[in-house]
A and B are shown apart, each in its own frame.
Chain A
Amino acid sequence: MKILVCIKQIPDTSDVRWTKDNNILREGVISILNPSDIYALLAAKSIENADVTVLTMGPSASKNAIKRAFCYVGNRGILLSDKRFSGADTLATAKTLYWTIKNYIKEFDIILTGQFAQDGDTGQTPYSLANLLNIPNIGYVNKINYINENEISVTSVKDSGIYQYKGKFPILLSFSKFDGKDYIPLAKDYIRAQEIKIETINADVIGANLDEIGIKGSPTYVYKAFKPQNNRVCKFIEPCELIGEIK
């Protein structure tokens, strides 16, 4: 079974600080592996006889995210790194992943991703990628019910209810949780992770259409960014006065 896990290195959003002119201070912010990607990695780890490739896009420092992923699972790592990829919105990102899978990775049975990246929180890339690859996808997955050579059954929890899906390969699954065996990486996993060579490839290698990647290939752009407004002024009262306020 060939499995591809797409991951993302993100800034730790609990550690965001501001400059004097109300901009986000990007320097010195700690990078972490996107939390819901860990569910995808745990899912990959739970599948027996799997050949697991970990794929990410980003600057060379994103190798750390792949190494972090290797602590859970994986025997091949691919980093898409090219300044022509930078500034990509979800569509340009999905296309970049699409060309990588179609022209470079070629063979796969299952693609696993996290449901959302905690920094952007759009949750759009997995759906766009599956659509471009013209394969079925299931979102909000939190459990693999069973998997065999021919099919996979999963549980997906959406706001409308709980769904049991059955699909054939190739398929893309995005995880919002993982109801299965947890794993805390051990020292030996960190050592193993350092020893796996990571392939770093650029836009030419994947045969990307250069007009459709990075900032050039992104239909959306940020027109302005600002700090959320807050106009409330708090009046402090005693607990016994509370009842009068709840009306």
Chain B
Amino acid sequence: MEILVYIQIKNGEIEDFSYDLISYAREISLNAKISGVVVLPYDSSVNFELLNKFGADKLYIIRTDKKEFDKTQNGGYITELVKKINPEIFILNSTTEGREIAPIVASSLNTGLTADCTKLEIKDNKLVSTRPTYGGKLMASILCKKTPQMATVRINTFKKKEFEKNNSLEIEETHFDIKEKELEITDFKEETGCFFELENARIILAGGMGLKNKEGFEKLKHLASLMGAKAAGTRKAVENGFIEKKYQIGQTGTTVTPDIYLAFGISGAIHHIVGMENSKKIIAINTDKNAPIFNHSDIGVVADANGVIDFLIEKYKN
């Protein structure tokens, strides 16, 4: 069995979550051949050495003659590679790039695709892709009748790990002539957003409507900086303009898995829970002791979140 993994590159380096996905592919199928695929501009060079350590056997490099930031049309190139090598499974990270490329490849190959999975398993040589649906209220495990069986996998589903290897990374360079769609990127401004900021945070302080206003969120950010943590918010807080969209945690925002997640004035709507429930330790502060957030927390404090923030700011100042 061959599992193909899409490798994402940024500024000449492999994104950390691509290592995570390579390791995940290896973890779910120790005997499979794990291959990476990367689409690279003709003039770019990347160090691929570590892929082997984290579980990859092989890497396909597709060379193109386009600009590095134009990733939107990689789907066409990858379709050609997949046709050629026929992997049983093809997985991508659930980044915007992965979620744009995947349906193009799947519809070109007439196969199925499961989006934004939080768990992959191999059962009887078939890929079982599990994902939250219905705004996180229901989990669905999905199978695919055709190959390649495709899935995009949510960031932070699995952390990279080293595997003992007795082979080195086999690299195959290839080129396909693709007629790209007529589309021009006239400007690009790199903005990493919190997507990666929050992803790597060890402590996250998230605020909900219990913080009442923008001032409450300013205090939350102040506390976060004192603690060396990152501030974030719920969908409602974002919709009310209390915090920027890029710091939204939940179903339609970012999924995070910090060591400590502090929820300030968050009631615990399910679409928020799905974005943080895999955090190591969850601490909730809310005035309503029946708030659903406490059902998903290890530690609870029944108190006004704003007051607790003031208290913590004083403590951390000293």
Contacts and interface: CB of A to CB of B under 8 A. Distances in A.
Interface stretch (B49-57, B136-144, B158-166): B136-144
* Interface size grouping (class) on chain A: 35 or more
B108 A131 contact: yes
A246 B102 CA distance: 40
Given A123-B115, A223-B141, A226-B139, A167 B302 contact: no
B299 A167 contact: no
Interface in B283-305: 283-285, 289, 294-303
Contact of A119 (B113, B115, B133, B307): B133
Interface stretch (B33-41, B80-88, B168-176, B184-192): B184-192
A227 B183 contact: no
Interface stretch (B21-29, B91-99, B208-216): B91-99
B297 A162 contact: no
A79 to B, nearest CB: 23
A218 B301 contact: no
B134 A163 contact: no
A234 B301 CA distance: 10
B303 A160 contact: no
A61 to B, nearest CB: 19
A150 interface: no
A90 B103 CA distance: 9
Contacts, number: 221
B97 A236 contact: no
* Chain A, interface SS category: mixed
Contacts of B139: 225-228
Interface in B181-206: 181-193, 195-196, 203
Contact of A131 (B103, B184, B295, B308): B103
Interface of B: 10, 69, 71-72, 75, 95-97, 99-100, 102-104, 106-108, 110-116, 128, 132-146, 181-193, 195-196, 203, 227, 251-252, 260, 262, 269-271, 273-274, 277, 281-285, 289, 294-303, 307-308, 311-312, 315
Interface of A: 11, 13-14, 16, 24, 89-91, 94, 116, 118-125, 127-128, 131-132, 135-140, 153, 158-168, 218-228, 230, 232-240, 242-243, 245-246
